Amino acid sequence: MTTVILGAGIIGTSTAYYHAQSQTSSIHLIESSPQLFASASGYAAGFLAREWFAPASSSLGRLSFDLHKKLAEEHKGYETWGYSRSTATSLAETIGGSEEEDWLGEGTSRAKAAKRIAENDDSRPVWLAPRHGKPDIIDKGVGTAQVDPFELCQFLLSECKSRGVILHQPATATGLTRDSTGALSCIRVQNTQTSEEYDIPCTRLVLAAGAWTSQVFQRLFPDSKLQIPVSSLAGHSLLLRSSHWPPRSSDALPPDINATHRGVNGSASGLKTQPPCHALFTSDPEHSYSPELFTRLPAGHIYIAGLNGPYPLPSLATERVIDPKAIAILKGTAQHLLGKDTFEVEREALCWRPVTGRGVPIVGPASNKRGEGEQGVWIAAGHGPWGISLSLGTGYVVAEMVEGRQTSADLKGLRL
């Protein structure tokens, strides 16, 4: 039995990672981009939440958050990919409980998904300009955390390769072959640098190509009646270096903060005391968008995003064209929130998130209630802004489905 995964972003690599733990058969990752993690997997915020999801994806959200914590504890996540507990805050707006599933499409704040606001305390971001008031606390880091998504992807891929997973990159799948019973038997792959074509045995196929998933499905199954309703939403971001972050010494922080953020998750794991990461959600009425800022450790970056737009999906993520107007707006927001001349821009980025009209991902077999579909094929795409948070859980349950096991999360509301 050979499994082929189309897309080596965080969903594809998470699937390969967990699948390789229990399988001795061949696993292949096929990635079309000449640069790994060139879209949302490498340029997303990396914010993790446990309870911020719509009912359909809440079970998957809890599983994935717990897997992130477990992985970090087992593999030095703080040092390797910046896994840190993060205090989630809201500035200058009142965030109430909501089951709104498409806040991203409406251009409002992800914090709408939070169930409640915790009692306020003194854990104010040290990098927030003094003229701003004290933010409301949404979560004190019990159910929210932060990672560097690019570094997490690098770790997962390295682990996959060490377990025998084969990466084909840059390469694209161009066709499929089925046997006399209709089951998948092999997939044709083209190396996009050399134009060489070759066949790989393929009895199980996972489509995890992010914003390109529907295009890949249509190319491989041109006669299928099944539609994969995954589209793209582009978003710009900045990676900043601030003179106020991280603090020079965590000893200057309030004692309760030191205790709360000790180790990976308050555990006595021998990790050094960490200053608190923060997620800050706010609004910009002038430009009609909802800025989001996230601090990262140990690298000491501040990430700002939230400005989305209808930029067309390119053939490859590396063909991005950054909009200077969008970057100027983000820089203006950063100056307003952090203070003028308090930061430097280390990176300007544009990536495409895979989204669905119902605001939750598609995770399940490539078949619908009418019986239309493709045997031996699974879909894992459309995670929107929650791709990093839901990544490990998605990879875990897709591996279970491919292996014919009962899934560890309720996926009924996530199927086609």
- What's the pLDDT at 259? 39
Task: Convert 374-397 into a string of H (helix), E (strand) and C (coil).
Answer: EEEEEEEECCHHHCCCCHHHHHHH
Q: How far apart are CA 253 and CA 273, in angstroms?
A: 11
What six digits make up the tokens of 305? Answer: 């995003």
One-letter identity of residue 324: P
Q: Tokens 């990544």 map to which residue?
A: 391
Q: Which of 205, 304, 216 is nearest to 33 (CA)?
A: 216
Which amino acid appears at position 386 of this protein? W
pLDDT of residue 7: 98
For 330-362, b where at least 16 C-beta lie within 10 A, e where not — what string? Answer: bbebbebbbbeebbeeeebbbbbbbbbeebbbb
- State how far the Cα of 31 lies from the Cα of 186, in Å rounded to an integer: 17
| Residue 100 burial (CB count, 10 A) | 14
CA dist 188 and 205 (Å) reads 12
> What pLDDT, on the 0 to 100 scale, is given for residue 98?
44
Q: Please name the residue that has the structure tokens 């896994």.
A: 83
Beta-sheet pairing, 204-207 with 362-367: unpaired
Say what the pLDDT of residue 104 is: 55
d(CA 407, CA 400): 6
CA distances from 316 to 2, 171, 376 (A): 27, 12, 27
Distance CA 338, CA 322 (A): 23
**Rounded Cα–Cα distance for residues 261 and 250 (Å):** 10
CA 322, 323, 329, 335 torsion-angle sign: positive
Task: Give me 167's structure tokens.
Answer: 């990466």
Give the model's pLDDT for residue 310: 85
pLDDT at residue 22, rounded to an integer: 85
Long-range contacts of 213-221 (CB under 8 A, 24+ apart): 213/7, 213/354, 213/379, 213/381, 213/382, 216/6, 216/7, 216/173, 217/366, 217/379, 219/173, 219/174, 220/173, 220/175, 220/176, 221/176, 221/374
According to DSSP, residue 112 is labeled: G
98: number of Cβ within 10 Å: 14
Beta bridge partners of 189: 173, 198
Q: Could you state, in chain order, the average pLDDT of each consecutive group of 10 residues for the chain (416 residues)?
A: 97 98 89 97 98 97 98 97 96 49 56 52 81 91 97 98 97 96 96 97 98 98 95 97 80 37 41 72 93 96 95 96 97 95 97 96 94 94 98 98 97 96
